[in-house]
Amino acid sequence: MSAAVMNDILTPVKRASARMETRNVFEEITGTVGDVTVENAKMRTRGVDVFYGDKQAIHDVSLDIGNNEVVAMIGPSGCGKSTFLRCLNRMNDTIPSCRVTGSMSLDGEDLYGEDLDPVLLRARVGMVFQKPNPFAKSIYDNVAYGPRIHGLASNRAELDDIVHESLKRAGLYDEVKDRLESPGTGLSGGQQQRLCIARTIAVNPEVILMDEPCSALDPIATARIEELIDELRQNYAIAIVTHSMQQAARVSQRTAYFHLGKLVEVGDTNTVFTNPSHELTENYITGRFG
Amino acid sequence: MSDENNKPGTTDLGKRERAGRERGAGDPGGAMAAAVSGTLTGGEHRGGSAGPDLPNHTGTGQGTAGDRVGARVQSGLKRRYAAERRFRMYGLFAIAATLSFLALLLISIVSKGLPAFSQTYMQLDVMLDADTLGVDASDSAGQLRGGNYGGVTKAAMRERFPEAESRSDKKALYGLLSTGAEYELARRVIADPELIGQRLQLWVPADDELGALIKSGANLADPDGIVTRMSDRQIGWAADMQATGELDVRFNRTFFINGDSREPELAGIRAALIGSGYTLLITFLLSFPIAVSAAIYLEEFAPQNKWTDLVEVNINNLAAVPSIVFGLLGLAVFINFFHLPRSAPLVGGIVLSLMTLPTIIISSRVALKSVPPSIREAARGLGASDLQVVFHHVLPLAMPGILTGTIIGLAQALGETAPLLMIGMVAFIVDIPQSITDASTVLPVQVYLWADSPERAFMEKTSAAIMVLLAFLICMNALAVMLRKRFERRW
């Protein structure tokens, strides 16, 4: 029997035992390792629990997102990082069985309070999705849609300015300036995602949430988006969910590691990746599971 | 995991890279990854070129396994291709059968209906004698309408064929002439009373029997072997007129101008066509907005609970209710209770809307459901309200599907007869309906009425009415395709 076959047989056994180990460790999680707070927090969350029906998807998560920083949320699939991200602009409202408890605030205003309308909240906290999802409209209309519904431009010239400026900041302007009237769905995947980012920043939000923005893109397009994220950091607070640890390492200043609905560890990206405090974090970033 | 291997780290995070190396060297996972990628390439090979080079790519000890798989696939392939060929044959057969039935239908209808689009006219030399008419040029239009135009046309016939002297001969002679001749003459005189006292040459419609005979191209000089209700005497007169060029076959404008009539040569489709138009307009105006709103509410806003389930089940059931039941409901509710006018397109339209609603609702819901959720999320993420999400993004994308469902529903409504019989739209309507509350009939009911008439000429009218109905349908479908193209371009 060759070595490869031997490995085939042995690997699942080893993996199973590794999993049991991590489960034991997980049960011991009592709180988050590291400092969840930042000085100039844009968004603050404290003790957030999220339920889908009876099932609890997020357990007691507290995390700050600071101005001018990129917070990366990493963790194995199903660990709740996307759920948590979507709670930050109440995108989960459309799921009837979803229930959120705990406190979440934007500049001190309660996200789920009476005063803050979800529509207004989503204008202030923009979102970029995993799959590029441009509207079935022209490139121009895609970017102009947000400003139009919010009445951000009083005339055509102002709207033109917003659109051009947003496309420039998303690094797409030079590629599409001659065909702003052609459909946004006709662009390549990477261009579409940058169009979606341009569309998001056209509303001039305060926070941008990105849910695995590069998972459907090739490395070149990914690199462009990452550059863009780094530039956008100058003006926005950004939270990004990613499966690629390199990406988290490249673009973020702070990293939060989620595991089975709990926030295990938060810290400076460099520290988390080079010297993780929690065993689960170390297991994950060294590729032992996930 | 493989993601990580493919992208060498561009960071200074030594520990992770070190960990990766360690794993590559020591951990069995690395070896497994290699094995996995091995099988993957194997898969690609199999997919790319079937068969011969199969054993080449595999590593040690796996060649025989690959061979065995290859052989098994090979033996199955033949069967799979045969199944595919068989299925294609079935498909082709089905298409051929459908097309031949369709061709049969169309050929039968067109061959029977085409003669109805032409009409035999005869030339009449009329002396508009004030005494015979009983009216004067100075009379009012109302009085002029009461003139004895039949007497004048009959006199003209007598004048043309003076040999008909006996009472029965005269009657037979007048039988060649359609009553349409009187109406044509009356119309002319009322339009221009100065004609009274003058001699007028005009073309008037011939009787339907004579018309059919002429259109059939029979040789009137040889009356034997001609199947007709006309007497030999009448055929002789007709042959005489044909020889002098006083009979002519022309395009049948009457068919598109007149309403129904007891006389086939005067019967037209116009009243039914306009009745159908009004009825469909009402149906569309009522059912489209109601159905689309209902579909949007159910699909986008309604909470999922027992009540919405109940509504859904009932809508689906409604689609299966026999149409005559809707007719009875219309009779009981709209006519007997609300006292809406009988035989009116208004009531017909309401009843047909009830019938069309479920069809449009169901197809609209399907169309709305098929809009990708990512579009909704994108709009909502930008701060669009639920209503804006629906009207700016979801509805435009669902529009082609909604329109298709609407056209299917309206086409169904256009061809519906049974519920309209119940609300009195089966009446004999001569006048062209002027509004949605006038008594009228619709195309399929007109077909039914004509198919029921004994005169032979109504047979061709029936087929012609079916042709008009089909043309109406084709126009509607063409409009739907056009609209769909237009909305689809926005993708």
Whether residue A22 lies inside any domain: the answer is no
The pLDDT score that the predictor gives to residue B235 is: 87
Residue B356 has pLDDT above 90, yes or no: yes
In a domain, A161, yes or no: yes
Residue A10 lies in a domain: no
Share of chain B above pLDDT 70, in %: 86
Check whether B43 has a pLDDT greater than 60: no
Contact at CB, A4 and B35, closer than 8 angstroms: yes
Domain that includes residue A93, residue range: 31-285
Q: Report the pLDDT value the prediction gives residue B490, as an integer from 0 to 100.
A: 54
What is the C-alpha separation between B432 and B439, in angstroms, rounded? 9
A-proximal residues of B, 274-293, CB under 8 Å: none
Query: What's the rounded mean pLDDT across residues B354-371?
Result: 94
A199 at B interface, C-beta within 8 A = yes
Q: Quote the pLDDT of residue B25.
A: 42
C-alpha span between A142 and A200 (Å, rounded): 10
B9 neighbourhood in chain A, CB within 8 Å: 246, 249
Task: Tell me what pLDDT residue B57 has.
Answer: 46
How far apart are the C-alpha atoms of B263 and B282, rounded to whole Å? Answer: 31
Of A8, A131, A243, the CB nearest to B374: A131
CB contact under 8 A, B13 and A270: yes
CATH for A120 = 3.40.50.300
- Top residue of A94, A121, A128, A275 to mutate, by most chain B CBs within 10 Å, is A94
Q: Is the pLDDT of residue B368 over 70?
A: yes
Q: Is residue A288 predicted with pLDDT exceeding 80?
A: no
- A283 contacts in chain B (CB < 8 Å): none
CA distance B55 to chain A (A): 18
A128 assigned to some structural domain: yes
Rounded-to-integer distance, Cα A18 and Cα A13, Å: 9
Would residue A17 count as lying in a domain?
A: no
Q: Which has more confidence, B52 or B293?
A: B293
Mean pLDDT over residues A58-62, rounded?
A: 89
Say if residues B153 and B177 touch (Cβ distance below 8 Å).
yes
Q: How confident is the model at residue A243 (pLDDT cuts 50, 70, 90)?
A: confident
Return the DSSP state at B456: T
In a domain, A3, yes or no: no
Asked if B305 is an interface residue toward chain A (Cβ–Cβ < 8 A), one would say no
**Which pLDDT does position B21 carry in this prediction?**
44
- The HSE-up count of residue B15 (CA atoms within 13 Å, CB side) is 15
pLDDT at B247: 87
pLDDT band at B22 (very low <50, low <70, confident <90, very high): very low
* A91 with B1: Cβ contact below 8 A: no
| Position A29 confidence tier, pLDDT thresholds 50, 70, 90 | low
Nearest residue in chain B measured CA to CA from A251: B11
d(CA B125, CA B109): 37
Q: What is the pLDDT of residues B254-286, one digit of tens each?
A: 899 888 888 888 889 999 999 999 999 999 999
For residue A101, give how far its alpha carbon lies from the nearest alpha carbon of chain B (Å): 21
Q: Which of B382, B390, B486 to mutate to test the interface with A (most CBs of A within 10 A)?
A: B382
A221 touches chain B (CB under 8 A): no
- Considering only alpha carbons, which residue of chain B is nearest residue A124? B383
Spatial strand order in the sheet of B247-251: B199-205, B118-127, B247-251
- Residue A170 has a pLDDT of 85
Residue with tokens 């809508």: B315
Residue B65's pLDDT band (boundaries 50, 70, 90)? Answer: low
Best mutation target among A5, A6, A7 (most B Cβ atoms within 10 Å) is A7
Q: What is the pTM of this model?
A: 0.77
Nearest CA in chain B to A199: B382
pLDDT at B454: 84
The whole-number pLDDT of residue A10 equals: 57
SS3 (DSSP) at A275: coil
Q: Which residues of B touch A122 (CB under 8 A)?
A: 380-383
Residues 26-65 of A with CB under 8 A from B: none
Closest to A133 (Cβ–Cβ): which among B60, B377, B491?
Answer: B377
Please count the residues of chain B. Answer: 491
pLDDT of residue A275: 87
What average pLDDT is seen over chain B? Answer: 83
Helix (H, G, I), strand (E, B) or coil at B206: strand
Interface size A-B, in CB pairs within 8 Å, comes to 127
Model pLDDT for residues B431-469, shown as the tens digit of each residue: 888 989 888 999 999 999 999 888 888 888 999 999 999
A69 domain residue, yes or no: yes
| Residue range A199-228: mean pLDDT, rounded | 88
- pLDDT confidence of residue B283: 95
- How far is Cα B296 from Cα A283, in angstroms, rounded to an integer? 48
Domain count, chain A: 1
B377:A91 CB<8 A: yes
Q: Could you give the percent of chain B with pLDDT greater than 90?
A: 34
pLDDT above 50 for B48: no
Q: Answer yes or no: is pLDDT of A238 > 90.
A: yes
Residue B55 has pLDDT above 60, yes or no: no
Rg over CA atoms, chain A: 20
The reported pLDDT for the residue numbered B297 is 94
| Composition of chain B by helix, strand, coil, percent to 5 | 70, 5, 25
Does A144 reside within a domain? yes
pLDDT of residue B202: 86
Q: Is B373's Cβ below 8 Å from some Cβ in A? A: no
In this predicted model, what pLDDT tens digit does every residue of A272-285 receive, in sequence order? 888 888 888 888 88
Distance CA A202, CA B280 (A): 46
- Angle subtended at Cα A172 by Cα A171 and Cα A174, rounded to the nearest 5 degrees: 100
Note whether A203 contacts B: Cβ–Cβ < 8 A: yes
Our CA-based measurement puts residue A118 at a distance from the nearest CA of chain B, in whole angstroms, of: 8
Is the CB of residue B17 less than 8 Å away from at least one CB of chain A? no
> Over the stretch A77-107, which tens digit does the pLDDT of each residue have?
888 888 999 999 888 888 888 889 888 988 8
Report the residue of chain A nearest B302, measured CA to CA.
Answer: A96
Helix intervals (H) in chain A = 3-27, 81-87, 118-124, 139-150, 156-169, 173-176, 189-202, 219-232, 245-251, 269-274, 279-285
- Does the pLDDT value for residue A25 go beyond 90? no
pLDDT of residue A14: 57
Average pLDDT value for chain A: 85
Q: Is the separation of the CB atoms in B316 and B298 below 8 Å?
A: no
Q: Which domains does chain B have, with CATH numbers?
A: 2-48 (no CATH), 116-257 (no CATH), 270-488 (1.10.3720.10)
Q: Looking at the predicted structure, is the pLDDT value of residue B54 above 50?
A: no
Give how far A64 is from chain B: nearest CA, Å. 21
Residue B18: pLDDT band (50, 70, 90) is very low
* ipTM of the complex in this document: 0.81
Q: Are strands A237-241 and A207-211 parallel, antiparallel or unpaired?
A: parallel
* Confidence at residue B464, expressed as pLDDT on a 0 to 100 scale: 93
- Is residue B226 pLDDT above 50, yes or no? yes
Interface of A with B in 247-286 (CB under 8 A): 249-250, 270, 273-275, 285-286
Contact B15 A127 (CB under 8 A): no
Query: Is A145 within 8 Å of B16 when comparing Cβ atoms?
Result: no
Contact A123 B32 (CB under 8 A): no
Tokens of B220: 């009137």
d(CA B3, CA B9): 11
- Asked whether the predicted pLDDT for residue B50 surpasses 50, the reply is no
Residue of A nearest to B386 (CA): A119
Identify which of B11-20, B131-140, B159-168 has the greatest average pLDDT: B159-168
Report whether pLDDT(A187) > 60.
yes
pLDDT in tens, B237-257: 888 888 888 888 889 888 998
Flag whether residue B11 sits within 8 Å of chain A, measured between CB atoms: yes
Q: What is the pLDDT of residue B201?
A: 87
| Set of chain A residues whose Cβ sits within 8 Å of the Cβ of B31 | 3-4, 7
**pLDDT tens digits, B300-316:** 888 888 999 999 999 99
Asked if the Cβ–Cβ distance from B383 to A149 is below 8 Å, we say: yes
Min mean pLDDT across A280-289, B337-346, B373-382 is at: A280-289
Q: Which of B3, B34, B491 sits opposite A136 (nearest CB)?
A: B491
Chain B residue with minimum CA distance to A86: B381
Displacement of CA B73 from its chain's centroid (Å)? 50
The H-assigned helical ranges of B227-338 are: 232-243, 254-257, 270-296, 306-318, 323-329
Q: Residue A143: closest CA among chain B residues belongs to which residue?
A: B382
Cβ pair A245:B4 closer than 8 A: yes
**CA distance readout (Å), B266 to B204, B262, B440, B482:** 11, 8, 17, 36
So what's the pLDDT on residue B314? 92
Q: Which of residues 84-123 of A touch B (CB under 8 A)?
A: 89, 91, 94, 96, 119-123
Which residues from chain A sit within 8 angstroms of residue B388, using beta carbons?
Answer: 149
Q: Which of A46-55, A158-167, B56-65 has the lowest mean pLDDT?
A: B56-65
What is the structure's pLDDT at B467? 94
